[in-house]
Structure 1
């Protein structure tokens, strides 16, 4: 794989990550609702989900993907259901001012699992790895070093871009100090999660 190929793929990944979609919107919503660390944990799962699709594309596991079609369908609905449940919970939550809100562990496993499920059910990601990736690289000629480079590009693009959005959203939380402002925050974040869940479920 040439340097030009790697740079082209990196540009494609950055554009994919910058484009509004379920993973970016959920990162913002989680960071608004619970702080930067919640969004960061979620994006660990996003990275895992993207790497799963990358490996499926590279090793030409179309047959496996077809066999797992029903599984991915279930995963899509589980991810959508999770977002709908979380969004509804936020929408109905009692507005507690942020300075009085107890700080505790949000659950690494829960956040990572959510990131994996939402990514596996994201039609934008499926399209990128299934249809667009072969236009960047010759998948049948990749060696181990090439695969490692591609995986590294995927992780770096997601970590940098998505967590930048998450950091900006987490900083915006500072303005929410009254109960009324927190209610607006909760309903905004909850609305985004509900909308994202509906988007995933209907695609």
Structure 2
């Protein structure tokens, strides 16, 4: 059991350290200098990730991945949403530390964007399906699977907390804010590219 847990944690850590839509979104929010919106974005991402974990534990993700029509719908939604986020980032203007970045409406938008970015990302679905089906034995008890999922979620929280602390370290956050417009353009281009790549892979 300990070997399985260790393997799951290592694979999840490597997956999180690989740059993807979630990390791009967090860095983009971090460049605004508003900790509240960045934190809300991370909370949204973690909510989506925990939902994926529960789906994987109870085998729903495997059913979705094996249902061609349903999985295609998820992929199209994910690709479309990444492109939407990319265009939005590309068109956005630099914002300083004012009320527009720290208000409750902005915080709710950040949470929702983080949630949908992770929840509609088909690669997260595929990653967790592959991880649980290849590493966790089919006859493993549900309680053990839930323990694995909870441990992975805790690891993800720790990694995101460390990333946020790093983003808001003095010199880095100053650099991010000074280059916010460039970060918006770069992150927008990457998100549109990722969404387009998913769309091309489906065709």
Partner in structure 2 of residue 158 of structure 1 = 156
* Partner secondary structure for residue 141 of structure 1: coil
* Partner secondary structure for residue 104 of structure 2: coil
Spell out, residue by residue over 1:137-182, the C-alpha distance to the aligned partner (whole angstroms, 9 max, x if none).
Answer: 22432242x233222222222222234334433443323666xx44
The verdict on how the C-alpha distance between 1:185 and 1:58 changes in structure 2, with shifts beyond 3 A counting, is closer
Please state how far the C-alpha of 1:126 moved relative to its aligned partner.
2.4
Q: Within 2, Cα distance between the matches of 1:30 and 1:117?
A: 15
- Alpha-carbon contact 1:27-1:162 (below 8 Å) kept: no
TM-score (norm 1): 0.73
TM-score (norm 2): 0.73
Q: How many residues align?
A: 198
Partner in structure 2 of residue 55 of structure 1 = 54
Q: Within 1, Cα distance between the matches of 2:111 and 2:71?
A: 17
Q: Which runs of 5+ in 1 are unaligned?
A: none
Spell out, residue by residue over 1:9-34, the C-alpha distance to the aligned partner (whole angstroms, 9 max, x if none).
Answer: 22221112112222222222232246
- Alpha-carbon contact 1:27-1:43 (below 8 Å) kept: yes
Moved more, 133-142 or 181-190: 181-190
Determine which structure has greater relative contact order: mean sequence separation of CA pairs < 8 Å that are 6+ residues apart, divided by chain length.
1
Spell out, residue by residue over 1:84-108, the C-alpha distance to the aligned partner (whole angstroms, 9 max, x if none).
Answer: 3343333333445x25674323544
Partner in structure 2 of residue 173 of structure 1 = 173
Q: Which runs of 5+ in 2 are unaligned?
A: none
Moved more, 134-143 or 56-65: 56-65
Q: Within 1, Cα distance between the matches of 2:11 and 2:104?
A: 35
Please state how far the C-alpha of 1:70 moved relative to its aligned partner.
4.2
Note the aligned Cα RMSD (angstroms).
3.3
